Structure 1
Amino acid sequence: MAYSFTFDDISGRPVAVVGAGTLGRRIALMFATRGGTVALYDPNVDVARDAVAFVEKTLPGVLEERGSGSPGTVVPHDDLAAALGGAWLVVEAVPERLDIKIPLWGEIDAAADADALFATNSSSYASSTMSERITDKSRFCNLHFYMPPTADAADLMSDGETDPAVLETLKTVLPEFGVHPFVARRESTGFIFNRVWAAVKRESLAVVAEGVADPEDVDGMFKINWGMRAGPFQMMDQVGLDVVLDIEEHYAAENPHLPAGPRALLEKYVDAGRLGVKSGEGFYRYAGPGVPGPGESVPREERLTLE
Structure 2
Amino acid sequence: MARSVPEDLNSRPVAVIGGGTLGRRIALMFASQGGLVRVYDLSADVRTAAVEYVEKKLPDLVAARPGASAGRVEAVGDLPAALEDVWLVVEAVPERLDLKRSLFPDLDRLAPADAIIASNSSSYPTRMFTDDVAGKDRVLNMHFYMPPAQNAVDLMSSGHTDPAIMELLKAKLPGYGVFPFEARRESTGFIFNRVWAAVKREALAVVAEGVTTPAEFDEMFTINTGAKAGVFRMMDQVGLDVVLDIENHYAAENPHLPEGPRAVLHEYVDAGHLGLKTGRGFYDYE
* TM-score bracket for the superposition, by shorter chain length: over 0.9
Structure 2 contact 36–73 (Cα < 8 Å) conserved: yes
Task: Provide TM-score, normalisation by structure 1.
Answer: 0.90
Greater displacement, 77-86 / 178-187: 77-86
Q: Using the alignment, how far apart are the partners of 1:100 and 1:254 within structure 2?
A: 20
Over the residues paired in the alignment, what is the CA RMSD in angstroms? 1.2
- Which structure 1 residue ranges, 5 or more long, are not aligned? 288-307
Q: How does 1:1-307 map onto structure 2 within 5 Å?
A: 2-5=3-6, 9-287=8-286
Q: Using the alignment, how far apart are the partners of 1:68 and 1:208 within structure 2?
A: 45
Q: Using the alignment, how far apart are the partners of 2:246 and 2:184 within structure 1?
A: 22
Q: Using the alignment, how far apart are the partners of 1:189 and 1:165 within structure 2?
A: 23
Q: Using the alignment, how far apart are the partners of 1:154 and 1:166 within structure 2?
A: 15
Q: Indicate the SS of the match to 1:262.
A: helix
- Aligned partner of 2:240: which letter? L
CA deviation after TM superposition for structure 1 residue 219, in Å: 1.6
- Aligned partner of 2:86: which letter? A
Q: Indicate the SS of the match to 2:241.
A: helix
- Which structure 2 residue ranges, 5 or more long, are not aligned? none
CA deviations 1:204-231 (Å, max 9, x no partner) are 1111122211112222222222111111
Q: Using the alignment, how far apart are the partners of 1:67 and 1:217 within structure 2?
A: 40
- Aligned partner of 2:237: which letter? Q
Q: Using the alignment, how far apart are the partners of 1:80 and 1:97 within structure 2?
A: 19
- Aligned partner of 2:21: which letter? T
Q: Indicate the SS of the match to 1:110.
A: helix
- Aligned partner of 2:236: which letter? D
Q: Using the alignment, how far apart are the partners of 2:169 and 2:121 within structure 1?
A: 16
Structure 1 contact 41–78 (Cα < 8 Å) conserved: yes
Task: Provide TM-score, normalisation by structure 2.
Answer: 0.97
Structure 1 contact 205–265 (Cα < 8 Å) conserved: yes
Q: Indicate the SS of the match to 2:278.
A: coil
Q: Using the alignment, how far apart are the partners of 1:173 and 1:67 within structure 2?
A: 16
Structure 1 contact 3–139 (Cα < 8 Å) conserved: no
Greater displacement, 276-285 / 147-156: 276-285
Structure 1 contact 223–229 (Cα < 8 Å) conserved: yes
Q: Indicate the SS of the match to 2:197.
A: helix
CA deviation after TM superposition for structure 1 residue 245, in Å: 0.6
CA deviation after TM superposition for structure 1 residue 5, in Å: 4.7
CA deviation after TM superposition for structure 1 residue 142, in Å: 0.5
Q: Using the alignment, how far apart are the partners of 1:132 and 1:257 within structure 2?
A: 29
Q: Indicate the SS of the match to 2:58.
A: helix
Q: Indicate the SS of the match to 2:228.
A: coil
CA deviation after TM superposition for structure 1 residue 153, in Å: 0.3
Q: Indicate the SS of the match to 1:124.
A: coil
- Aligned partner of 1:4: which letter? V
Q: Aligned residue pairs: how many?
A: 285
Structure 1 contact 31–38 (Cα < 8 Å) conserved: yes
Q: Using the alignment, how far apart are the partners of 1:211 and 1:64 within structure 2?
A: 46
Q: Indicate the SS of the match to 2:104.
A: helix
Identity of aligned residues (%): 61
Q: Indicate the SS of the match to 1:30.
A: helix
